[in-house]
Chain A
Amino acid sequence: MITNIGLLLLLPLAAVILMPWVSRLHRRAADVLAALTGLGLVALCLRFIPLHGETLTLRALHTQFAVDGLSLLFLVVVNVVAFFCLLYSIDYMNHYDGRGKFYALLLLMVLGLNGILLVRDLFSLYVYLEIVSIASYVLVAFNLKWDGIESALKYLLLSVVATGLILVGVGIIYLNLGTLEFAELKLMLAAGSGPSAVFLLAAALFIAGFGLKAAIMPFHAWLPDAHPSAPAPISAMLSGVVIKVAGIYALTRLFFDIYPSPDRILNVFLFLGVASMVGGALIAYFQRDIKRMFAYSSISQIGYILIGLGLGNALGLIGALFHVLNHALFKSLLFLNSGALQYRTHTRDMNEMGGLEHRMRVTGMTSIFGTLSIAGVPPFNGFWSKLFIILGALAAKQYAVAVLAIFLSIFTLGYFLLMQRRVFFGKLNLKWKDLKEVPLTMSLAMIFLAAQCLLVGIFFNEVLRYLVEPAAAILLGGK
């Protein structure tokens, strides 16, 4: 079981090394290798679930990797979403050349994300963060058109600032404590080693740096450009997974597991969470570009997660962690939906669409699942996580936050229903009369993700028990 931890890194690495040769064998060979690697990674992650609550540590050749409840939740999120994105890419990539290179970069992104979740020191976390970042820049610009390259450049420039801030923060910690190991840092910070003002400066740098990676308002400028320009599976990965692991996971690990988590940091989370939740939703409402709308809505949903973390109580933390999983599922589904629409219509402008439900039934139906999930309609998964966050706000006597969260949930339903009406319902635009549903693997990926949105909602108790609660226990134990 312990060796499986290493396989989470070595399996994608081996696939990447083989990819240039395999992709020359046959047009579909690269598809098979990528999909099987994705499936293998999901199987490896699922094998850890029965050991919930335990921490598995792999020590070999001067390395240390570990899986605990918190990293397991994120590992499942990363690898499940990545598998469906790989599956979807099999037909989606017919629009692009360089299929093997695309899969290699996507698998390297997954490797980097797994690395962030497995390492146990701040510097290694930084190294794997860079792998994810560099892979993301290239993948955003994969179409090599002007908008993609411009967005990738914007993403790169802001991301460089983020990693610079993080590196300075890491430097300050190392300078003062002489170690970057999570376990040693936790002990030293809890014992009050070193001056607290300096650690607060490092905390501010981490919040700004990882906040930029998580696209929290006001650090969100790169996200609304990067998401629409990227190929749909990459938008799904960025929104569903990357902003959570590179941003939310890192913040959570730092401020709940390692830092003694002072109240003022939680208040910063709460404030940034409310700003993101409100700001993201309001801007999303005015978008005509479907992927830009989803991108702004991601900022709003990240706000919910931050609010849950900022509340700091058990309900809030469980809600936040559950929303990480749920948002990854329904937002990747919605981005894959938008990719399916663009695949057939070659536009992202919602005003040019209309009545597509009659021509693209799978896309239409699955997007309804995504809409109901993101709006928090029972019994879909989004309902439960939002409910926990709102109950957490009430328990913490943050009544204004609770009311805002409920209102914004209704508002989200409003602008997503508006999207449904503009895109899928109403009179069919005549230029789409000969439109067909997208190919099989794209449809399958959307169907599986939509089914998960419903199943996680129905069996939320089991998901909480095996995935979310062990993760929340780490955070509550770290306080």
Chain B
Amino acid sequence: MLLYASLILLVVFAILVCFFRDLLYAAVSLALASVMLSVVLFQYGANIAAVFELSVCAGLITVLFVSTVSMTKDSDQANESRLPAYFLPFILVLFLGLDFFLVKWLAGSTLVGAGFPATPGLNFQNVFWGQRMTDIVGQVSLILVGVFGILTIMRALSERRKHD
């Protein structure tokens, strides 16, 4: 039940990203889609991918997006064409079709007996501190890149405030 609810919410939040005119709402919607994807990945037993989806995509990337968006002024907003939004449903149908055939092909040729069962007793702590210790330096570095990235971009904001 949780799986299906997460999948439906994932699709809803992902579609909303394309329809929000306010970039801040779009960024938050994208973050929620990432959280839902993380739940789906946990449900499927893909703990490693779930951990990274949650920490990097839902966390770090959202902070980057929100801080960048918050730096823009109202006058910076461009009048965008609505044309891409009209094409969106067709593109969605096209991608869903492609997705269907790709998954069907992969399922027919490989998934039978492939993969491996999710190990019982695995949780966030086990995966993060036990299995993926190799990536801890990577995780710390990713967060530092995000922090320094934001600080670098924020230079423009502080300069602008000085001028104002």
Contact = CB atoms under 8 A, between A and B. Distances in A.
A144 B149 contact: no
A97 B153 CA distance: 12
Instruction: Rank and list the top 7 A-B pairs by shortest CB-CB distance, nearest first.
Output: A62-B133, A138-B149, A127-B138, A178-B116, A63-B134, A134-B145, A104-B148
Contacts of B148: 16, 101, 104-105, 108, 138
B139 A127 contact: yes
A112 B143 CA distance: 12
Contacts of B146: 134
B137 A10 contact: yes
Given A62-B132, A65-B134, A195-B110, 7 more contacts: A13-B144, A63-B133, A101-B152, A105-B145, A112-B145, A144-B156, A175-B115
Interface in A79-111: 97-98, 101-102, 104-105, 108, 111
A98 B155 contact: yes
Interface residues of B, number: 34
Contacts of A141: 153
Interface string A52-84: 000000000111110000000000000000000
Contact of A197 (B109, B145, B149, B156): B109
Nearest to B137: A9
Nearest to B129: A62
Nearest to B106: A198
Given A175-B110, A176-B115, A13 B137 contact: yes
A105 B132 CA distance: 24
Interface of A: 9-10, 13, 16-17, 61-65, 97-98, 101-102, 104-105, 108, 111-112, 115, 119, 121, 123-124, 127-128, 130-131, 134-135, 137-138, 141-142, 144, 171-172, 175-176, 178, 194-195, 197-198
A198 B145 CA distance: 35
Nearest to B141: A131
A98 B146 CA distance: 15
B140 interface: yes
A187 to B, nearest CB: 16
Given A97-B155, A123-B48, A138-B153, A17 B134 contact: no
Nearest to B156: A144
A98 B134 CA distance: 31
Contacts of A16: 141, 144, 148
Contact of A195 (B109, B116, B139): B109
A44 to B, nearest CB: 16
Nearest to B60: A134
Nearest to A104: B148
B110 A194 contact: yes
Interface string B146-161: 1011011101100000
Contact of B131 (A62, A131, A171): A62
B133 A127 contact: no
